[in-house]
């Protein structure tokens, strides 16, 4: 293309009266022409005055575009000799031949842009785009959160905000919050800890990732409950660990002889309220697990996600509190007690590991949000946290009883209920062969959110059908009519089952 034809090219492509200013259009057209090969390296571009006249634009418009292209390396100005298209064509001869076929796509599968690890992560995703509505499991009643108290505490900090609260964090979290968490855990959960052992994270997923990365090697085995929380399985898998699912019974994760013969690096458990089925790990099994972990140097990761809400009997002590060999990494979250969007969780690690976890947290995630930590620390220290949890416990107990009654009323003996002693959800067991995925999809069309229980199992052969039902965020009055609608879908599916039998 010559100088003349550059003017022609621009004249035909400029859009007069459009929304993009002329100088940006000119810049974009020249850049695209150079990158696309229509305007070749070494070509002299028309002087700005001449081009401005040809295009009927101001000279400033042209110099803006030229200056920008010179600054980005597309054009070069030669003193006393005009402006030229720079030679930025990559020298292909210097590049090794491109890989072809399967090797080019690594193990991400033919045509995939993702790595094999990325593909594996996304093959079992569980996060739902719908997060609010009856009967979404695991969601507290966000509408009851004491916004006014929180905003007063927040305003108090922002009025004279300490600069330290607006910089990066130190990896461990704001000390007064760690102190408040440690004090709460000692009294409410019998966790054996000091504030120095508490690392504040942005939730359980991040805590699991930190533990997996710092304490495990790629390919190490991690025992997980089957069924288990999809998030646990996905995070540890994407961290390079190999999950080995072990079945769950009424005493929690089973520890079969065969598995015990080959100690893993990690054991991930939810001993206070097994997720999703609900049993509490028996004392005998807790002791066996801890003894085994101590003997074989296994890390036990205790996910204590919702045990502030216990409806029958006194709160259960944590597994960590029973451990005298520092093999337990304890995980907690404010997602259930306050609200999930807060994204604050915490881990309690053995004292010797705490400074290194803090450093790694800063290195990997560049932590911060200290202003939010400060508000939460005040919220806890001034008694609002325990008072909110107390109120919510009462409210959720009422809603749980209402849902249990609705289930009995609508489905009688057809369905079983498990996991209703604690937390924010229960698991509704349905007869073998029921298509729980179809029920969940049909219910969603009616605006009712549930999760199919079978989706939580790693082993399809042991998957039991059912529905995960959250009740905490559903008003007591609306539980019976909404469950009646859901029961209609369930009965419809059960009819298919009967006709097939
Ligand atoms: C078993 C379990 N652990 C932890 C969490 C919470 O994770 P986070 O703290 O990342 O919100 C959930 C949320 O549903 C869960 O079901």
Per-residue pLDDT of 204-255, as tens digits, reads 999 999 999 999 999 999 999 999 999 999 999 999 999 999 999 999 999 9
Whether the Cβ atoms of residue 455 and residue 234 lie closer than 8 Å to each other: no
Closest CA to 201 of 192, 193, 211, 191: 211
Residue 68 beta carbon below 6 angstroms from any ligand 1 atom: no
Distance CA 337, CA 308 (A): 7
User: By C-alpha distance, which of 471, 312, 483 is closest to 399?
Assistant: 471
Contacts of 487 (CB under 8 A, 6+ apart): 406, 407, 410, 411
pLDDT for 104: 47
Burial class (CB in 10 A: 0-12, 13-18, 19+), 423: buried
- Mean pLDDT for 409-421 is 93
- Lowest mean pLDDT of 104-108, 138-142, 361-365, 466-470, name the range: 104-108
Handedness of CA 181, 186, 191, 193 (dihedral sign): positive
Pocket lining: 369 vs ligand 1, CB cutoff 6 Å = no
Mean pLDDT of 463-482: 97
Q: Which residues pair with 418 in a beta bridge?
A: 427
Partners of 198 in beta bridges? 348
Task: Please tell me if the CB atom of residue 204 comes closer than 6 angstroms to any atom of ligand 1.
Answer: yes
φ, ψ (nearest 5 deg) of residue 199:
-115, 125
Q: Indicate whether 142 pLDDT > 70.
A: yes
What distance in angstroms lies between residue 239's CA and the mean position of ligand 1's atoms?
17
Query: Look-up: residue for tokens 């093959």?
Result: 123
CA angle 483, 470, 200 (to 5 degrees): 170
Check if 201 has its Cβ closer than 6 Å to any atom of ligand 1: no
Beta bridge partners of 422: 310
Distance CA 31, CA 212 (A): 46
What average pLDDT does range 82-87 have in this prediction? 94
In tens, the pLDDT along 298-308 reads 999 999 999 89
Predicted local confidence at residue 498, as pLDDT = 66
* Ligand 1 pocket residue status of 203, Cβ below 6 Å: yes
The CATH-assigned architecture of domain 146-384 is 3-Layer(aba) Sandwich (3.40)
Give the residue among 244, 236, 290 at the shortest CA–CA distance from 264.
244
Half-sphere exposure of 281 (CA within 13 A, CB side): 30
Q: Which of 102-111, 382-391, 428-437, 447-456 has the lowest mean pLDDT?
A: 102-111
How many angstroms separate the alpha carbon of residue 273 from the centre of ligand 1? 12
Q: Is the CB of 212 under 6 A from ligand 1?
A: no
Tell me what the pLDDT averaged over the chain comes to.
93
How far does the centroid of ligand 1 lie from the alpha carbon of residue 227, in Å? 15
CA 275–ligand 1 middle distance (angstroms): 10
Kindly list the distances between the CA atom of residue 330 and the CA atoms of 89, 140, 182, 190, in Å, as whole numbers in the listed order.
55, 22, 12, 12
- The reply to whether ligand 1 has any atom less than 6 angstroms from the CB of 305 is yes
Is the CATH number of domain 387-500 3.40.50.1820?
no
Q: Which residue has the higher pLDDT, 110 or 383?
A: 383
Q: Where exactly are the structural domains of the chain?
A: 3-85, 146-384, 387-500
Q: Is 345 in the pocket of ligand 1 (CB under 6 A)?
A: yes
pLDDT at residue 164, rounded to an integer: 92
Mutate which of 204, 277, 329, 330 for ligand 1 pocket (most atoms within 8 A of beta carbon):
204
Residue with tokens 């929690």: 252
Q: Which among 310, 329, 311, 309 is positioned nearest to 319, based on CA atoms?
A: 329
pLDDT surpasses 90 at 9: no
**pLDDT band for position 133 (cuts 50, 70, 90):** confident
What angle do the packed helices 59-71 and 22-36 form, to 10 degrees? 40
Ligand 1: centre distance to CA 205 (Å): 7
Query: Which strand (E) or helix (H) includes residue 33?
Result: helix 22-36
Which ligand 1 atom lies nearest to the CA of residue 228? 1
Determine contact, residues 425/418, Cβ cutoff 8 Å: no
Cα–ligand 1 centroid distance for 278 (angstroms): 14
Q: Which DSSP category does 22 fall into?
A: H
Is any atom of ligand 1 closer than 6 Å to the C-beta of 268?
no
Query: Which of these ranges, 86-90, 171-175, 290-294, 403-407, has the smallest mean pLDDT?
Result: 86-90
| 382: its two tokens | 């001034």
What pLDDT score was predicted for residue 18? 82
Who has greater pLDDT, 96 or 74?
74
| Pocket-testing residue among 201, 229, 269, 455, ligand 1, by greatest number of atoms within 8 A of Cβ | 229
Per-residue pLDDT at 100 exceeds 90: no
Sign for the CA dihedral angle at 240, 246, 250, 251 comes to negative
**Strand, helix or coil at 199?**
strand
DSSP letter assigned to residue 167: S
pLDDT for 499: 65
User: What share of the chain has pLDDT > 90, as a percent?
Assistant: 80
Q: Distance (Å, rounded) from C-alpha 200 to C-alpha 368?
A: 10
411 vs 83, 130, 415, 431, CA distance in Å?
A: 81, 26, 6, 12
Residue 279 has pLDDT above 90, yes or no: yes
Q: Which residues contact 433 (CB under 8 A, 6 or more apart)?
A: 465, 497, 500, 501
| Stretch among 109-118, 195-204, 226-235 having the lowest mean pLDDT | 109-118
Distance, C-alpha 436 to centroid of its chain: 25
- Distance from the alpha carbon of residue 305 to the mean position of ligand 1, in angstroms: 6
Pocket flag, ligand 1, residue 138 (CB < 6 Å): yes
Hunting for tokens 């070509």 — which residue is that?
A: 43
If one counts every other C-beta atom within 10 angstroms of the C-beta of residue 19, the result is 5
- Note the CATH number of domain 3-85: 1.10.10.10
Cα 350 from Cα 384, distance rounded (Å): 29
d(CA 215, CA 217): 7
The response to whether residue 225 sits with its C-beta less than 6 Å from ligand 1 reads no
In short, whether 266's Cβ falls inside 6 Å of ligand 1 is no
Ligand 1 pocket test: which of 206, 305, 426 has the largest number of ligand atoms within 8 Å of its C-beta?
305
Taking the centre of ligand 1 as the mean of its atom positions, its distance from the CA of residue 353, in whole angstroms, is: 23
Residues 314-350 pLDDT 10s: 778 999 999 999 999 999 999 999 999 999 999 999 9
What local confidence, expressed as pLDDT, does residue 225 receive? 98
Contacts of 310 (CB under 8 A, 6+ apart): 316, 393, 421, 422
């Amino acid at each position: 293309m010559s100088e003349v034809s550059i003017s022609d090219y621009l004249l035909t492509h400029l859009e007069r009266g459009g929304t993009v200013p002329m100088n940006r259009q000119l810049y974009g057209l020249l850049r695209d022409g150079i990158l696309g090969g229509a305007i070749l390296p070494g070509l002299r571009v028309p002087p700005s005055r001449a081009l401005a006249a040809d295009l009927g634009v101001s000279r400033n418009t042209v110099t803006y575009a030229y200056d920008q292209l010179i600054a980005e390396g597309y054009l070069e100005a030669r003193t006393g000799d005009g402006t030229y298209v720079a030679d930025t064509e990559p020298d292909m001869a210097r590049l090794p031949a491109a890989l072809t076929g399967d090797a080019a796509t690594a193990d991400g599968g033919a045509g995939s842009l993702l790595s094999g690890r990325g593909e594996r992560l996304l093959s079992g995703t569980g996060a739902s785009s719908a997060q609010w509505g009856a009967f979404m499991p695991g969601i507290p009643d966000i509408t009851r959160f004491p916004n006014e108290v929180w905003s007063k505490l927040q305003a108090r900090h922002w009025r004279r905000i300490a600069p330290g609260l607006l910089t990066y964090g130190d990896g461990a979290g704001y000390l007064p919050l760690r102190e408040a968490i440690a004090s709460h855990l000692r009294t409410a959960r019998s966790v054996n800890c000091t504030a120095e052992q508490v690392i504040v994270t942005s939730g359980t997923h991040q805590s699991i990732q930190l533990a997996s990365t710092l304490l495990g090697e790629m390919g190490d085995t991690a025992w997980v409950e089957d069924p288990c929380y999809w998030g646990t399985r996905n995070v540890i898998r994407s961290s390079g660990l190999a999950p080995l699912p072990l079945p769950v019974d009424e005493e929690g994760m089973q520890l079969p002889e065969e598995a015990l013969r080959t100690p893993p690096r990690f054991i991930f458990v939810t001993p206070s309220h097994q997720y999703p089925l609900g049993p509490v790990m028996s004392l005998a099994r807790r002791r066996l697990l801890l003894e085994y972990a101590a003997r074989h140097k296994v890390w036990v990761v205790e996910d204590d996600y919702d045990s502030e809400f216990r409806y029958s009997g006194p709160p259960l002590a944590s597994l960590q509190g029973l451990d005298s060999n520092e093999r337990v990494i304890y995980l907690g979250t404010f997602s259930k007690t306050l609200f999930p969007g807060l994204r604050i969780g915490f881990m309690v690690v053995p004292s010797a590991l705490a400074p290194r976890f803090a450093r790694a947290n800063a290195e990997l995630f560049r932590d911060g949000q200290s202003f939010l930590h400060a508000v939460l620390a005040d919220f806890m220290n001034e008694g609002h946290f325990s008072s909110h949890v107390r109120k919510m416990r009462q409210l959720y107990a009422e809603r749980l009883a209402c849902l249990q009654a609705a289930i009995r009323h609508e489905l009688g003996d057809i369905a079983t209920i498990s996991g209703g002693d604690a937390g924010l959800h229960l698991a509704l067991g349905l007869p073998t062969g029921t298509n729980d995925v179809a029920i969940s999809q049909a219910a969603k069309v009616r605006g009712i959110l549930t999760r199919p229980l079978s989706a939580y199992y790693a082993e399809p052969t042991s998957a039991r059908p059912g529905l995960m039902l959250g009740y905490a965020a559903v008003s007591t009055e609306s539980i019976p009519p909404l469950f009646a609608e859901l029961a209609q879908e369930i009965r419809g599916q059960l009819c298919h089952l009967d006709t097939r039998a």
